[in-house]
Structure 1
Amino acid sequence: MSLRAICIVNIPHSNASNVIYYRKFPTCEKRAKLKHGQSYTPMPSHAALADALVDALCFQENEFKEWRDGADITTQLPAIELKTKDGSLWPFIFVKQQGTYFCCMPLVETTFHPKERPGILTLPAVTAAFSSIMAVIGFLGQPLGGITENWPKLSELDTFLSVAAPFGRLQVTEPSVVTAMMESPDMLYDDPVKVPAWRPLPFQGKPQVTVSMKEVVHSTQCDRSDMQPVVTISGYVKVHCELEGQGAEVQLRLKCPTTKLTPVGPDMVLVHPCVVVGAELCQVLRGGSSKEKSERTFRFSPPNHPLILCHYTFSRLFYPPVLGFYSMRGDKNVEFQLQLKLQDDIQNSFEAFEVKIPFYNRGHIKKSSLTPSYGTVFMSKDRFSLMWSIGAKFDSKSREASLGGTVVFEETESEEFRNSSATFVGNTSFVQLYFRMLDYTLSGSCVDPKGVQVMPPCKVKVHTDRRTETYEYKIWNKFGELPFALPKTS
């Protein structure tokens, strides 16, 4: 894929725009002129580019422009149409960060009428442009004050693009790889041996492979007969291979044993493009009927930088690792009861375990009388919520924890001090669980370090680690309304 231009523009407001970097690729511009013929629109000057970008993105009050705001115009962000005195440029790709616009104009095969433009997902050039923008952002970094003309790495951006996209033809998008190619004094541009683009330089050092697994658990629960707990687990395997040689290959096995929480294997596995086509990605069942295990084998040629080898998902599970029951009633004087139960086959060890109990639309908390069976309770800084810190583990015998009591709120407060919420109406409310577990995955998925193989064979150290954390783990009040409907399954 080829690029016509890359630019960086600061637009603090509509009357002040400044192009701090602009790089055109003349060879790609000439190709665009040959391909587009009479409909060709050249890239504008610095000032014209800034004005066109302001015109397209900075909306003025009561301002309407048919080419931009018409009802028959389909907006496909991050692609916009850039209007210049010579015509229009589409798809012009941009990413905004801290008031700075990182932009790229890809080379497309033809021009499109505004009403006949295809979806940007069908245009590979858009993907290339977006990848190049993210590579530039990764190289420059993200300073707190935003990027200015005096940012030191701007002076190296021309060299970066000359390596990443020579003559505008995008080759490498990983910033660490491009930086290594820039800094390597032994880089041979005329090397007769063809090497992978993602591994252009050999690694020098002690060979080692690091495999990290992370799982995120989502859960929705309510102690009602018409609803059964729903659990979703999503995870990924991240690898960092520091191996000598440019043709090294790695093979590892992802084990996904069946458990009470995950009675079946993952219903979706997405792999990185570097995985060799034809590897044993199909599910392989091993073991007896009582301990049936599912394994997936991945064979890949790794880059020098860390990469996410695969994503996997277990959806529509009905056995939550922590089962909760929450009941709450009242307005200015609230009584509630919360019970948590850690399932028997779940590890009773946490890096942290906290519960947030919000009370919105009621005002500030005046006082509370609470009886936790385990851990400590404190009020949030905004005085709208209670925070319950359970600690590193549940009671080893009962594996349960409970919190009950009453909460009294301030009587007279204006609406601006009530922390209004469209969800927390009447008794409709929920509590949210936050916990992290180290060296553990809820699904039981793991990578056996002894099963990691490297070709050509060499003595390599293998490090593995696992962790689990929550996201949107909610237990709804049994006496409130539910903003969703899930039938109870038998």
Structure 2
Amino acid sequence: MIPSVAAAVSLLEGMMEVLSSAVKLETSSPQLAELYQYLCLAAPFGTPNETNPSNLKFQIQFRKGLAMPKEKIPSWRPAVYKGSSKLNVRIKEEVRAVQYDKEDIEDICQLYGSVLCKAELEGHPDIVLNLTTPPDSSHLDHLTVHSCVQSSDAEPVLADTTNRHTDTPHYSRSVRFSAPLETFTLCHYQQSPALIPIRGFYQMKGDRTIELLVQLKLHETIRNNFEYCEVVIPFFNRGTIEKIDNISPTSVSLCIGPDNKSLVWNIGQKFPVKSLEVSLSVTVTFTEFPSEEEEERDKTVDAKFCVEQNSYCELNFKISDFTLSGCQIDPRSITLFPSIKYKLTLGRELVSSGYRIWNSHGDALGIPFIRNEPVEEIIN
């Protein structure tokens, strides 16, 4: 909603991309020289102008003798596309959750969404599209947009469906933009608090031999069709896994991780239709405890904290053609000015990120999410 903030974020992302050598502006220059050249082009007078390294590379090539397009074009689109026109727009949502199974501690769940776009369109048409959400869901908050966006709704608007009897009411946010050629993130949004899609329960007790129990329940509103769904149970400050016994149910797909210090439970593509619940109980025996030298090798926060009963399991999953917020792109709202014929491809997906369930019998490491900067605190 604040253009200067969006421009500053785009500049920082471009600087990171140059420093990581993902895009070389001049292959013979060292990284700091690359960064200096990038800043001279991206913000020649101190204000960010064009911040995409790939587009700046095009401009450098044009300066070296390639013909610039004759027609006037935006600075973020320095090349002309020729060919069959296509527009690909995909919504990707990441759900982050921490569950404790403690009466006095509230579980955490936050949702972050991105709209990814690739527009291969002849000419330079302006594009208008609407992001819609159901009226019974939380609105999309903190919408931040790419610098190519010309205008966007500051607040969700309840769509008028009086003349569309087959439609249900929904909230809509309109975005108007002129897209660069490469794939880019049109906008970011977040939703908090978010519905916890899979409720989890984890219990673990023991020393060299432990008994553990994991129970999961899929929320009835979540699409029961996964590309993948697995639980990883890491073990820190213990020896390697010697054997696993008493696996229940016996049909469960369970294996020891490649590091011999974790279990991987493959749930598959669906939860049982009637109960929407799955469970795992198993006995794990470890070798002798690691030596002091082995303990010194790992200095991560998890390794320092996860001693004795302090432990967690992590859930990894992906659901295609689904968003937790209910956000989708209304294809009828997509308009191009001037109008041209093009092929439209829309997609949605929900993936987990940092989705942890802590052992009920131990302490937990709480992570109040600030985007990409978790703040650590110990919860007893």
TM bracket (short chain): 0.7 to 0.9
Deviation at 1:228, TM superposition (A): 3.3
What residue number does 1:220 align with? 98
In structure 2, how many angstroms separate the alpha carbons of the residues matched to 1:257 and 1:367?
49
What residue number does 1:273 align with? 147
Over residues 287-341 of structure 1, what are the superposed CA-to-partner deviations in whole Å (9 max), with x where a residue is unaligned?
78x9552110001122222221110001233x31001111111111211111011
The one of 289, 305, 309 aligned to 2:182: 305
Question: Is 1:140 paired with 2:14?
Answer: no
Deviation at 1:202, TM superposition (A): 2.5
What residue number does 1:361 align with? 237
Question: Cα RMSD between the aligned structures?
Answer: 3.7
What residue number does 2:219 align with? 343
SS in 1 for 2:258: coil
What residue number does 1:458 align with? 340
Deviation at 1:403, TM superposition (A): 0.5
Question: Is 1:407 paired with 2:277?
Answer: no
2:100–2:107 Cα contact (<8 Å) kept: yes
Label 1:395 to 1:455 Cα distance change in 2 as closer, same or farther (>3 A). same
2:87–2:119 Cα contact (<8 Å) kept: yes
What residue number does 2:68 align with? 187
What residue number does 1:430 align with? 312
What residue number does 1:205 align with? 83
Percent sequence identity is 33
Question: Is 1:477 paired with 2:359?
Answer: yes
**TM-score, structure 1 as length reference:** 0.62
What residue number does 1:19 align with? none
What residue number does 1:282 align with? 155
Over residues 257-309 of structure 1, what are the superposed CA-to-partner deviations in whole Å (9 max), with x where a residue is unaligned?
245xxx311222111222114x4343111378x95521100011222222211
The count of corresponding residues between Structure 1 and Structure 2 is 344
Deviation at 1:135, TM superposition (A): 4.9
Over residues 352-407 of structure 1, what are the superposed CA-to-partner deviations in whole Å (9 max), with x where a residue is unaligned?
11111122222222222142446411111222111111111112222111100211
In structure 2, how many angstroms separate the alpha carbons of the residues matched to 1:126 and 1:286?
31
- Higher Rg: 1
Unaligned runs of 5+ in 1: 1-120, 142-151
Label 1:287 to 1:324 Cα distance change in 2 as closer, same or farther (>3 A). farther
2:184 maps to amino acid: L
Alignment of structure 1 residues 101-112 onto 2, 5 Å: none
**TM-score, structure 2 as length reference:** 0.79
What residue number does 2:322 align with? 440
SS in 1 for 2:326: coil
What residue number does 2:275 align with? 398
2:10–2:51 Cα contact (<8 Å) kept: no
Unaligned runs of 5+ in 2: 162-166, 369-380
Alignment of structure 1 residues 23-172 onto 2, 5 Å: 131=14, 134-135=17-18, 137-140=21-24, 153-154=27-28, 165=41, 172=50
SS in 2 for 1:176: helix
SS in 2 for 1:422: helix
In structure 2, how many angstroms separate the alpha carbons of the residues matched to 1:367 and 1:287?
62
Over residues 211-257 of structure 1, what are the superposed CA-to-partner deviations in whole Å (9 max), with x where a residue is unaligned?
011111101112221133321010100111122223x1000000122
In structure 2, how many angstroms separate the alpha carbons of the residues matched to 1:202 and 1:244?
7
Alignment of structure 1 residues 242-281 onto 2, 5 Å: 242-246=120-124, 248-258=125-135, 263-277=137-151, 279-281=152-154
Question: Which structure ranks higher in relative contact order (CA pairs < 8 Å, sequence separation ≥ 6)?
Answer: 2
In structure 2, how many angstroms separate the alpha carbons of the residues matched to 1:301 and 1:196?
8
In structure 1, how many angstroms separate the alpha carbons of the residues matched to 2:280 and 2:190?
33
In structure 2, how many angstroms separate the alpha carbons of the residues matched to 1:244 and 1:389?
46
